Amino acid sequence: MSKPRNIVILGATGSIGVNALDVVARHPGRFEVVALTAHRQIDALLQQCLKFHPRFAVAGSAAGAEQLQAGLRAAGGTTEVLCGEPALEQVAALPPVDTVIAAIVGIAGLRATFAAVQAGKRVLLANKEALVTAGPVFMGAVRGRGATLIPIDSEHNAVFQALPRDFSGDLAAVGVRRIVLTASGGPFRDTPLERLPQVTPAEACAHPNWVMGRKISVDSATMMNKGLEVIEASWLFNAADGQIKVVIHPESVIHSLVEYIDGSLLAQLGNPDMRTPIAFALGYPERIEAGVDFLDLARVSRLNFSEPDYARFPCLWLAREALRAGGSAPAVLNAANETAVAAFLGSRLRFDRIPALIEHALGEVPVVPLRVLEDVFNADRRARVCAEAWLARHAAGENQHSLRVSA
pLDDT, one tens digit per residue, over 90-137 is 999 999 999 999 999 888 899 999 999 999 999 999 988 899 999 999
pLDDT of residue 396: 44
Q: Which residues contact 343 (CB under 8 A, 6 or more apart)?
A: 349, 357, 391, 396
* Vertex 228: Cα angle to 152 and 37 (nearest 5): 50
Q: Which residues pair with 35 in a beta bridge?
A: 8, 56
User: Residues 133, 161: one domain?
Assistant: no
Looking at the fold, whether 44 and 66 belong to one and the same domain comes out as yes
Sheet containing 254-260: order of strands: 244-248, 176-183, 254-260, 265-269
What is the per-residue pLDDT for 2?
A: 77
Same-domain status, 123 and 167: no
Q: Do both 126 and 171 map to the same domain?
A: no
- 282, 315, 348: which is the final residue of a domain? 315
Domain that holds residue 20: 5-151
User: Whole-angstrom Cα distance, residue 177 to residue 171?
Assistant: 7
Establish if 53 belongs to a structural domain: yes
Buried b (16+ CB within 10 A) or exposed e, 70-105: ebbeeeebebebbbeeebbbbbbbbeebbbbbbbbb
Query: What is the total count of domains within the chain?
Result: 3
d(CA 80, CA 390): 43
205-240 confidence digits (pLDDT tens): 886 665 667 888 999 999 999 999 999 999 999 999
Residue 240 within any structural domain of the chain: yes
CA–CA separation, 71 and 52 (whole Å): 15
Three-state SS for 146? coil
What's the residue count for the chain? 407
Specify whether 165 is located in the same domain as 143: no
**pLDDT value at 68 more than 90:** yes
Do both 13 and 111 map to the same domain? yes
- Measuring CA to CA, which residue among 115, 205, 188, 113 is closest to residue 152? 113
pLDDT of 399 higher than 70:
no
- Residue range 41-60: mean pLDDT, rounded: 97
